[in-house]
Amino acid sequence: MYAIGEYVVHPGQGVCQVKDVTESPDAVYQLMPVGQRHPVHISFPVASEGRLRPVLSRVEAEKIIEDYPVMQLDDFAARNISLEEEHFRKEIRAGSCRDSVRIAKTFRVRIQDLSQRNKKPPVAYERILKQARERSLLELAVALDSTPEDVELLFRAREGEVPENN
């Protein structure tokens, strides 16, 4: 059972903080999503807590950032883009933070490849990239007690990119 104040990853909402645990007839977690513009309390049954997972530790988060340059891309391809999008959305929801980082890297590379060939990437690619980036950056930021922007700078520094000064 998770304690009040702990951070967990909800399959649909991403990183949430446990605000309360009610012990009425059926025990329920009161979760508050982190990093959303208009967060809404979520009631989540304790009986289904197997679907929640704890946020990464600081060591695990640092290891993901360290491994980023050599992380393998996901080579999944479907007959059409909507099947591909459905597959990756499920993987983002049910997978680990490492999976989300790998998916974000995969779609960043796919979009760059298409752009270099003067082709417009599908809108679904942008959606998947955005969802994977937000999910992974937020979880890593909570694990590292930082902001998503700082985590993004850590990734760029790891790749050898010079951050833009805007």
Question: How does pLDDT run across 19-75, given as a tens digit for each residue?
Answer: 999 987 889 999 999 988 888 899 999 999 999 999 999 999 999 999 999 999 999
Residue 162: per-residue pLDDT = 44
Return d(Cα 109, Cα 119) in angstroms, integer.
14
- 18: tokens are 């446990």
Distance of CA 44 to the CA centre of its chain: 20
Is the separation of the CB atoms in 67 and 102 below 8 Å? no
Of 82 and 159, the structure prediction assigns the larger pLDDT to 82
Q: Which CATH homologous superfamily contains domain 58-159?
A: CarD-like, C-terminal domain (1.20.58.1290)
